[in-house]
């Protein structure tokens, strides 16, 4: 058998040939800010109305913005948390956030009542797919991205920007930082969580809420919406 002379014995190498994973660029590369203005949120809502399930999608954007909901909190929202008679939303927070009770404005009440009428399934979830199953956070993210493209945004929009936009709106309207933290559920307090939001004077004034004489009564407010435009 002829000897193959062009081959040679080489020693083992210690160099690792691992595949380098792509590194995500900083947020500033994708967008100049992490919030939307109220007018930009309205652009998203209007764009969502052109979808196949436009009213459902627009209502999801509206509630995420008004109540500073994370995507996981929004898709897990259930009808038992919505009190249409007393215009109240019981917000459950993730990431060890503080749950609270938020007022619902007239616009939200009308949107939720219509959604309840149109929802064919008897699902306990407020927002369901056309198959009657709960939304996933990834599905909501895709919905936001489609609406952003349809609305003509030149920056990448993600669902958490709606939560940031809520805080930006409250801050622009003169609400103090501690109250904004309470509304968004990021504060820690010894006050019972179910009464925390109602009892902060800044929020009562902001939403036009007058506290009842005793704790057994519901807060009184006009469901037509407060004077701040919400």
User: How far apart (Å, rounded) are the C-alpha atoms in residues 35 and 136?
Assistant: 22
Per-residue pLDDT band at 32 (split at 50, 70, 90): confident
Per-residue model confidence (pLDDT) at position 104: 94
User: How far apart (Å, rounded) are the C-alpha atoms in residues 131 and 84?
Assistant: 25
Per-residue pLDDT band at 223 (split at 50, 70, 90): very low
Reported as a single tens digit per residue, the pLDDT across 121-141 is: 688 999 998 888 888 999 999
Greater model confidence, 216 or 137: 137
Per-residue pLDDT band at 86 (split at 50, 70, 90): very high
Which residues sit opposite 220 in a β-bridge? 210
User: How far apart (Å, rounded) are the C-alpha atoms in residues 38 and 44?
Assistant: 10
Q: Is the pLDDT of residue 221 over 80?
A: no
Per-residue model confidence (pLDDT) at position 210: 53
Q: Is the pLDDT of residue 30 over 70?
A: no
Q: CA torsion sign, 66 to 68 to 70 to 74?
A: negative
pTM of the model: 0.76
Q: Is the pLDDT of residue 199 over 90?
A: no
Greater model confidence, 8 or 161: 161
Per-residue model confidence (pLDDT) at position 84: 94
Weakest-pLDDT range from 54-63, 81-90, 91-100, 195-204:
195-204
3-class SS letters over the chain: CCCCCCCCCCCCCCCCCCCCCCCCCCHHHHCCCCCCCHHHHHHHHHHHCCCCCHHHHHHHHHHHHHHCCCHHHHHCCEHHHEECCCCEEEECCCCCCCCEEEECCHHHHHHHHHHHHHCCCCCCECCECCCCCECCHHHHHHHHHHHHHHHCCCCCCCCHHHHHHHHHHHHHCCCCHHHHHHHHCCCCCCCCHHHHHHHCHHHHHHHCEECCCCCCCCCEECCCCCCCCC
Q: Which long-range contacts (CB under 8 A, 24 or more apart) does 182-190 make?
A: 182/98, 182/100, 183/68, 183/100, 183/102, 184/68, 184/97, 185/68, 185/91, 185/93, 185/97, 185/98, 185/99, 185/100, 186/97, 186/98, 187/98, 188/98, 189/98
Mean pLDDT of 128-155: 92
Reported as a single tens digit per residue, the pLDDT across 97-124 is: 889 899 999 999 999 999 999 887 688 9
Decide: 151 and 44 in contact? Cβ < 8 Å. yes
Q: Is the pLDDT of residue 203 over 60?
A: yes
């Amino acid at each position: 058998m002829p000897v193959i002379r062009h081959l040679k014995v080489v020693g083992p190498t210690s160099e690792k040939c691992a595949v380098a994973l792509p590194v995500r660029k900083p947020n500033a590369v994708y967008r100049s800010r992490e919030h939307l203005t109220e007018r930009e949120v309205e652009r998203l809502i209007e764009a969502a109305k052109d979808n196949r399930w436009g009213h459902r999608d627009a209502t999801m954007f509206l509630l995420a913005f008004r109540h500073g909901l994370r995507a996981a909190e929004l898709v897990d929202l259930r009808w038992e948390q919505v009190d249409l008679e007393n215009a109240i939303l019981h917000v459950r927070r993730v990431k060890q956030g503080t749950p609270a009770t938020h007022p619902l404005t007239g616009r939200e009440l009308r949107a939720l009542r219509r959604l309840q009428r149109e929802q064919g399934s008897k699902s306990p979830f407020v927002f369901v797919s056309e198959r009657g199953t709960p939304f996933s956070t990834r599905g909501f993210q895709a919905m936001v991205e489609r609406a952003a493209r349809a609305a003509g945004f030149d920056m990448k929009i993600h669902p958490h920007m709606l939560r940031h936009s809520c805080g930006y709106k409250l801050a622009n309207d003169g609400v103090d930082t501690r109250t904004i933290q309470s509304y968004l559920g990021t504060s820690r307090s010894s006050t019972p969580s179910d009464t925390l939001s109602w009892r902060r004077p800044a929020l009562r004034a902001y939403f036009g809420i007058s506290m009842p004489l005793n704790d057994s009564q519901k807060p009184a407010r006009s469901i037509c919406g407060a004077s701040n435009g919400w």
